[in-house]
Homo-oligomer: A and B are copies of this chain.
Amino acid sequence: MHIGMIGLGKMGFNMRERLRRAGVDVTGYDRNPDVSDVPDTDALVAALPSPRIIWLMLPAGAITAAVVEELSGGLDAGDILIDGGNSRFTQDQAHADRAAERGIGFVDVGVSGGVWGLENGYGLMVGGSDEDVATLMPVFDALRPEGERDESFVHVGAVGSGHYAKMVHNGIEYGVMQSLAEGYELLAKKDIVEDVAGTMHAWQKGTVIRSWLLDLMVRALRDDPGLEKISGYVEDSGEGRWTVEEAIANEVAAPAITAAVFARFVSRQNDSPAMKAVAALRNQFGGHAVRPAGERVTGSGTPSPGSENTGTEPTTAAGPS
């Protein structure tokens, strides 16, 4: 089998390698010539046997859409396009429709596994027609971990369902990471816990919460037991947000996943407009002293001296409320 792959970043680069190790020929294209096998997509299309199979591993959104558009014009009936990036599932049908105008098949694949997938294999969630999926099975089998196919591969349903399943997977991932993080903070703040890293380490076998994310947490703590080298500034990619939007659209209460998304928003704020408003309100009704903007926020959570009292106030008195 011989396929094309466009987008050779952290994911695509490793996937090309895993496919090759499994005996699948891959011609890869990336705009970075250091990793690309061909100079451009035309060369990639020309290099592939017919019917062509081209796997896109590109940033979701405009870039993926542009490449789908370009290839839909350059491929032939019977070829198959695969979008393996983190596209929003709501985009897939439009891409499939565009491809179908020329008789080109379209399959969306949610790919999970991160940088570890090269060695471990990738979890795959696939949306598309039975026929296209059947054609692609050798590719999927090469990418997924060895062992039972059903444990790492699923044909979820029609076009869009693969990315929907991946979105939900990532939404769960947000919630699990937030849960582990809350637990970490609860351990780290407690004096009687003398060995935070050791405690999480000891959860890896036998416990109910043993999991790969826990294993990674242990790895991170091994390198930096107090997480002193890292800032608590956390980006979010689209899937967490989309999961909340799908929760709203489908009337599903998703408080844990949503809490995880909101916590990331707050982590990136230097100062929160909302909390300024709360501080202003407290000042209004209770005369509670406020911190001037720009005063360094301390991490201790300990009120600064006098923060609840004005200077002339008798300190025995009950504060207002």
Identify which of A44-52, A72-80, A131-139, A294-302 touches chain B: A294-302
Q: Which residues of B contact A234 (CB under 8 A)?
A: 275, 278-279, 282
Identify which of A19-27, A94-102, A223-231 touches chain B: A223-231
Is A305 interfacial (CB-CB < 8 Å)? no
CA distance A144 to B31 in the complex (A): 51
Given that A86-B318, A253-B266 are contacting pairs, would A277 and B181 also be in contact in the complex, using a CB cutoff of 8 Å? yes
Is A38 interfacial (CB-CB < 8 Å)? no
Is A106 interfacial (CB-CB < 8 Å)? no
Residue in B9, B117, B157, B180 whose beta carbon sits within 8 Å of that of A193 in the complex: B157
Is A129 interfacial (CB-CB < 8 Å)? no
State whether B276 touches A230 (Cβ < 8 A).
yes
Cross-chain pairs A/B with CB under 8 angstroms, 7 sampled: A13-B314, A30-B314, A84-B318, A153-B202, A182-B247, A189-B252, A253-B263
Given that A11-B319, A262-B255, A263-B253 are contacting pairs, would A278 and B150 also be in contact in the complex, using a CB cutoff of 8 Å? no
Q: Which residues of B contact A112 (CB under 8 A)?
A: 203, 206-209, 321
CA distance A296 to B233 in the complex (A): 10
State whether A317 touches B10 (Cβ < 8 A).
yes
Given that A210-B212, A321-B114 are contacting pairs, would A185 and B277 also be in contact in the complex, using a CB cutoff of 8 Å? yes
Q: Chain B CB within 10 Å — which of A259, A282, A285 has the most? A: A285
Which partner residue on chain B sits nearest A304 by CB separation? Answer: B233
CA distance A250 to B265 in the complex (A): 9
Which partner residue on chain B sits nearest A84 by CB separation? Answer: B318
State whether A247 touches B293 (Cβ < 8 A).
no
Q: Which residues of B contact A286 (CB under 8 A)?
A: 10, 114-115
Q: How many residues of A contact B (CB 8 A)?
A: 187
What 9 A-B pairs have minimum CB-CB distances, sorted nearest first?
Answer: A9-B317, A175-B179, A211-B211, A232-B275, A270-B299, A123-B207, A154-B202, A32-B314, A255-B259
State whether A254 touches B321 (Cβ < 8 A).
no
Contacts A58-B318, A171-B182, A268-B297 aside, 17 further interface pairs with beta carbons under 8 A come to A11-B319, A12-B318, A111-B321, A151-B201, A153-B202, A154-B202, A156-B194, A165-B199, A171-B179, A181-B277, A182-B256, A208-B285, A229-B293, A231-B271, A231-B292, A237-B308, A270-B298
State whether B310 touches A10 (Cβ < 8 A).
yes
State whether B211 touches A209 (Cβ < 8 A).
yes
Which partner residue on chain B sits nearest A307 by CB separation? Answer: B235
Binary per-residue interface labels of chain A (237-277) against chain B in the complex, 1 for a CB within 8 Å, 0 otherwise = 10101011111111111111111111111111111111111
Which residues of A156-189 have CB atoms within 8 Å of chain B's CB atoms?
156-158, 160-161, 164-166, 168-189
CA distance A30 to B206 in the complex (A): 25
Residue in B8, B117, B247, B275 whose beta carbon sits within 8 Å of that of A206 in the complex: B117
State whether A193 touches B156 (Cβ < 8 A).
yes
Is A105 interfacial (CB-CB < 8 Å)? no
State whether A160 touches B266 (Cβ < 8 A).
no
Which partner residue on chain B sits nearest A33 by CB separation? Answer: B314
